[in-house]
Chain A
Amino acid sequence: MNLPILTIATFLPLFGAIWLLFVNGEKQEKIKRIALVIAIGDFIISLPLFFKFKLNTSEFQFVENIPWIKEFGISYHIGIDGISLFLFLLTSFLSLICILASWNITDRIKEYMIAMLILQTGMLGVFISLDLFLFYVFWELMLIPMYLIIGVWGGPRRIYATIKFFLFTMAGSVLMLVGIIVIFFMNHKATGEYTFDLLKIYNLDIPMGAQFWLFLAFFFAFAIKVPMFPFHTWLPDAHVEAPTAGSVILAAVLLKMGTYGFVRFSLPLFPYASHQFVPLIAWLAIAGIIYGALVAMVQEDLKKLVAYSSVSHLGFVMLGIFVFNIQGMEGSILQMINHGLSTGALFLIVGMLYERSHTRLIADYGGLAKKMPIFAVFFMVMTLSSIGLPGLNGFVGEFLVLVGVFKSNVVYAVLATTGVILSACYMLWMFQRVMFNKITNPVNRKLKDLNMREWALLLPITILVFWIGIYPKPLLSRMDVSVNHLLTQVDDKYKISLRKINLENDEIAARAERAARAVAAEAEAAARAAEVEAAARAAEAEAAARAAEAEAAERAAEEANSADPMMEED
């Protein structure tokens, strides 16, 4: 087990990109094959991660830790746990799909494939980084190829869309960079060590006031990426203009970086602030769920519809993360994968339609099921998966999230569950308008059903959709320990913060009491000219004693409280 699988899997695509640099750009077939071989190889290399993953430890696995820039304590520290494992696999799997999906691109195929491969390295890197600096490097690295993919190979308004995408994301991540640097110095102040190492920083106890601001800084970076409700407007534009593979990657992986960021960074680093922000985030997530669904319902463009549905689905994920229990968290992680698969597939499907008839307007379709029965089957499966039909993947995640939310707050759960109704509305209505009814557009009479390549794209995803829906245990069992560990970690730190606050409050109360008594005693003393000092001193002593008593009592109560089953969680 000495082979550095993670490093190989992460940097193989980059190597492929470099290889492609030396290939003549005219030889399109060769370029595509090389890229495909690299992607397949990468996927195969990353498979052992799944099979050799140890189920019973919350430690990071497949860890590699090499100093990089020693002066600043930056290291090449990578590893995965049950949370990142699946996102990593999802990324390498979907990158493979995306390269295969880009087979029909003829314009600058070499540059395109290079961008795709670099993008893959960036995305994989984000999920395995255990060093804040390294994380940030990968986080920004993947932005650039995506920017190019939308901007060069996109639709008519691609420049607008790509700049919007870039600026939005950048605006958030700059704040995060500031946050990272602040944490870096805080850590130095506390421990005297310059380090960006996440695992060491996890032990850092950030003051509550600072947590608030740092959480906000990270929040913007991640919330924009997710995207949460009011920050979502870049998403429809980027999706509509991006080429098919770009949309797939965007929906399936890039959005997950935001939610992953919350899980990996925001929660364990700022547990107190995370708890404080729950109402805000929950309401935003619920707003996203309902709003995204409603807006998706009336879209006229297929890609926009799917894009808004992402807003809705990611709302579930966010809600699940911020209820701080195991069902919610596992459901969220599973839902990230599910959303990656089903929405990714939906974008592939829309792309296939677009390739055939060069329009994405729902009104231009209708009756396709007659001409493309196999396509209709795949489309149906993905639609149902997106709706969350039991037996398919979407349901498992959605249900776990809802159970988690229900456990912590019934109102949230009831509101979020309305999303289940709405998702059926918009997806089925769209499906009806595209696939059912009579063919009205003469162009659609000549449509061909799926070819072999398209089969190869959709079949693996469909198999996964069924697998996760019917037997999600291999996934859930791999998450279990890590999620548990994460939650206890967050919870412990949160309790410490709470205790601190209580102590502070007690102290303030005690001080106030003491002051009040002193004033009273003084007044009394002034009235009684005799025994001036004796009386005051006695009063004061008494006050102090009483305050101390009160403090002790409070502390005892607090301790009893914390010993209480505050988290009845398993």
Chain B
Amino acid sequence: MPYFFGCSYLDLIGYVLLFPIAGSVINGLLGKKLSKPVVGIIGCTAIGLAFILSFFVFIDLLHLAPEHRVFEKDYFTWIGSGSFESIAGLQVDPLSVVMIMMVSGVGFIIHVYSVGYMQDDDGFYRYFTYLNLFTFSMLLLVLANNFLLMFIGWEGVGLCSYLLIGYWFEKKSASSAGMKAFIVNRVGDFGFILGIMLIFVTFNTIDFTEVFQAAPEHLQMGGFVVTMITLLLFVGAIGKSAQIPLYTWLPDAMEGPTPVSALIHAATMVTAGVYMVVRCNVLYTLAPFSLTVVAVIGGVTALFAATIGLAQNDIKRVLAYSTVSQIGFMFLACGVGAYIAGIFHLVTHSFFKALLFLGAGSVIHGLGGEQDMRKMGGLKKYMPTTYKTFLIGTLAIAGIPPFAGFFSKDEVLLEAFTKGSLLIWGLGAFAALLTAFYMFRLLFMTFCGKSNMSKHAEAHVHESPMIILIPLLVLAFLSIGGGFIGFPTASAINSFLAPVIGGGHHGTVDGGSLHHVSAGMMFSMMGISTGIAIAGIFIAYLMYIKNPDLPAKIAKKFKLIYTIVYNKYYVDEIYDATIVNPTVKTSFILWRIVDVRIIDGFVNAIARIVELKGEVLKLFQTGYVRNYALSILLGGVIIIVCSLILL
């Protein structure tokens, strides 16, 4: 086992968190005075160090026997009140190691990319402060050893997302989108926090290990409590991972800088929900009903978001809806009990989706901020490297072998078929078809065909600098090779993650491994999913290369459906009309009428009564002293009369 100054790398796990937060603090406090390169170097170094350390931790962990691959380190008691205790402690196990490597790795690449992308921005240091803070929070989320500490990371990433979406805060749409993201996430957190409380009340602890150990003995399979716990936690996941019905914030989140979209809203943060479900797989396995809910929501979201993606024209929004859809896939996997497939898809997705976003960023950068695909086209010749990497990403997401997405998506579909129902598989398969279609639609509209650029943009367009292209190349490489970690025949990720599933010691739940599936079945499923992908690509080819007028015709023919889809099923409008506006209106009524008129009116009415009484009594106050003296005399006489009568 490699040692570092006498202690194993596992002991140094705290530094994985320390580097990013230190980078954030340094940039935040001093960034204004530092030059941009220095800020960039600090930001990237912090994450780079975290990644290197994560890697060593991973190696360390590999050295341990699979069943001992859990390492916990407690730092201090964060909140302790009576029997309630939340310890600031970290937990390293295969799942969190995979996550920290993914987060810090992809994070590092995107940091480097950002140095180039944000070069001309005034708030450079602010950007890196937020980005480092984000990485810190995300790492905390995945490393935490109890629910509440995880919640810090959970909310922390939400905060950073808020700050980074609203990074260009002078744009009203940006600041509103940030706010929307935070508030919608809060709705999810509402469930999450109730879930944590229910866990505490049930188990009297919120420590992962203890809860998961106690769960099978404590809880009845499919009992009410465990179903409630898992559903409440899943509400949190719905919010964070942008699933139906709380997905609306994610497309709006594209107002942020593109690297942010890549890091937060594609690769890492939005997958936190999936991570959480996998982390709590012990509980979910105990609650079949919740699992069904997870699978159905995942499947429906995958399909629903994909249909919206068909008709969008903003390059980033298409990617955003595809993210929603892909996360739906992950939940679908979790919902059928294939947790590892979910994580596998999470990892590969983070590679190719980050690649796609960064590629889109490169395009936007090259076009000077243009995001509308209808004003692009034919960029292939202007930006060859970007095109190639983008193509790789698109192939990966479409699920063409041997790209990363193929393996993971195939595994998800296979699991859905074998463990879930045909319906769920159907949802997933149809969504996969649509995904292939709209992703290639995007590719064709952007890079192929004839140019629709404005004159100004055309003169301007250029390939991006190396600092942007290198990250693209790295990610492209990962998108090609990333899938092999989970290639079924040599399923490294499966065996690595297996101890995490079922609480590590539970043999009853099979860790999503595929031994029970025959090889023939497996390969036929592979064939089917590849066929689906190719079909999608072919349709896109027909519509956008071969016959560019076709889309318009179809749109005309199915005008109603097209309008609905184009307007994203009016979900935002429906929410506005049913939730937002009534709330604001009610509040106005509460303020103007209930508060001012009724409650305060009542108070003032009491005061008014006293005042009126005074007004009446005032008449007796003539202001003439002798008049007052008269009443003194009157009083005197009355006293004497009384005393005479009484005595």
Contact = CB atoms under 8 A, between A and B. Distances in A.
- Say if the two chains contact directly (CB < 8 Å): yes
Interface of A: 164, 167-168, 230, 232-234, 291, 294-295, 297-299, 325-327, 330-331, 367, 369-370, 384, 389-391, 395-396, 399-400, 402-403, 406-407, 413-414, 417-418, 420-421, 424-425, 428-429, 432, 435-438, 470-473, 476-477, 480, 484, 569-570
Interface of B: 76-84, 148, 151-152, 154-156, 159, 162, 166, 169-172, 175-176, 178-179, 182-183, 186-187, 189-190, 193-194, 197-198, 200-201, 583-584, 586-588, 590-591, 594-595, 599-600, 603, 607
Contacts of A403: 84, 197, 200-201
A421 B159 contact: no
Given A230-B599, A297-B584, A400 B169 contact: no
A473 B584 contact: no
Contacts of A391: 152, 155-156
22 contacts: A164-B603, A167-B607, A297-B584, A298-B587, A327-B81, A330-B81, A331-B81, A395-B155, A400-B79, A400-B81, A402-B193, A402-B197, A407-B201, A420-B193, A421-B186, A424-B186, A428-B162, A432-B179, A436-B175, A473-B77, A473-B79, A570-B82
A28 to B, nearest CB: 35
A480 B166 CA distance: 41
B155 A413 contact: no
A420 B81 CA distance: 21
Contact of B175 (A437, A473, A480, A570): A437
Contact of A294 (B170, B183, B590, B599): B590
A471 B176 CA distance: 33
A93 B187 CA distance: 35
Given A435-B169, A437-B170, A438-B172, 9 more contacts: A167-B607, A233-B603, A298-B584, A414-B194, A417-B194, A418-B190, A429-B179, A432-B166, A476-B80
A391 B603 CA distance: 40
Contacts of B154: 390
- Interface of B, secondary structure class, is helix
A484 B83 CA distance: 12
A395 B584 CA distance: 26
A413 B506 CA distance: 34
Contact of B155 (A326, A389, A418, A438): A389
Given A325-B82, A420-B193, A421-B183, A406 B198 contact: yes
A420 B591 contact: no
A476 B187 contact: no
A421 B190 contact: yes
A484 B154 CA distance: 32
B80 to A, nearest CB: 6
Nearest to A325: B82
A367 B197 CA distance: 39
Contact of A384 (B159, B201, B595): B159
B172 A472 contact: no
A432 B82 contact: no
B27 to A, nearest CB: 13
Pairs A-B, 4 closest by C-beta atoms: A326-B82, A436-B175, A390-B152, A436-B169
B82 A291 contact: no
B82 A390 contact: no
A438 B170 contact: yes
A436 B168 CA distance: 9
A406 B179 CA distance: 28
B304 to A, nearest CB: 24
B183 A389 contact: no
Contact of A420 (B189, B200, B584): B189
Nearest to A297: B587
B356 to A, nearest CB: 29
Contacts of B76: 471, 473
B190 A389 contact: no
Contacts of A330: 81-82
A296 B131 CA distance: 32
Contacts of A164: 603
Nearest to B151: A390
A175 to B, nearest CB: 15
A473 B80 contact: yes
A239 to B, nearest CB: 14
Contacts of A297: 583-584, 587
- Interface of A, secondary structure class, is helix
A429 B194 CA distance: 24
A250 B541 CA distance: 69
A425 B187 CA distance: 10
Nearest to B596: A233
Contacts of A233: 595, 599-600, 603
B241 to A, nearest CB: 18
Nearest to A370: B170
A391 to B, nearest CB: 5
Interface centre among A291, A299, A400, A437 (most CB of B within 10 A): A437
A449 to B, nearest CB: 11
A20 B190 CA distance: 52
A331 B79 CA distance: 10
Contacts of B595: 233, 295
B82 A417 contact: no
A420 B79 contact: no
Contacts of B80: 473, 476-477
Nearest to B595: A295
A432 B163 CA distance: 11
Nearest to A311: B595
Contact of A400 (B84, B171, B183): B84
Nearest to B206: A403
A395 B201 CA distance: 19
Given A326-B82, A476-B81, A291 B183 contact: no
B82 A569 contact: yes
A384 B152 CA distance: 13
A417 B77 CA distance: 24
B179 A476 contact: no
B201 A472 contact: no
Interface centre among A164, A399, A413 (most CB of B within 10 A): A399
A432 B170 CA distance: 10
A437 B166 CA distance: 10
Nearest to B586: A294
B183 A437 contact: no
A299 B76 CA distance: 41
Interface centre among A167, A294, A326, A417 (most CB of B within 10 A): A294
Contacts of A428: 162, 179, 182-183
A471 B78 contact: yes
A367 B194 CA distance: 36
A406 B156 contact: no
Contacts of A476: 79-81
A27 to B, nearest CB: 39
Contact of A396 (B79, B82, B159, B187): B79
A425 B183 contact: yes
B183 A424 contact: yes
B640 to A, nearest CB: 36
B79 A472 contact: yes
Given A390-B152, A473-B76, A326 B169 contact: no
A168 B591 CA distance: 20
Contacts of A327: 81-82, 84
B166 A436 contact: yes
Nearest to A230: B599
A417 B81 contact: no
Contacts of B603: 164, 168, 233-234
Contacts of B197: 402-403, 406, 413
A327 B83 CA distance: 8
Contacts of A429: 179
Contacts of B193: 399, 402, 417, 420
Contacts of A295: 587, 590-591, 595
A295 B587 CA distance: 5
Interface centre among A291, A403, A406 (most CB of B within 10 A): A403
Contacts of A402: 193, 197
B81 A436 contact: no
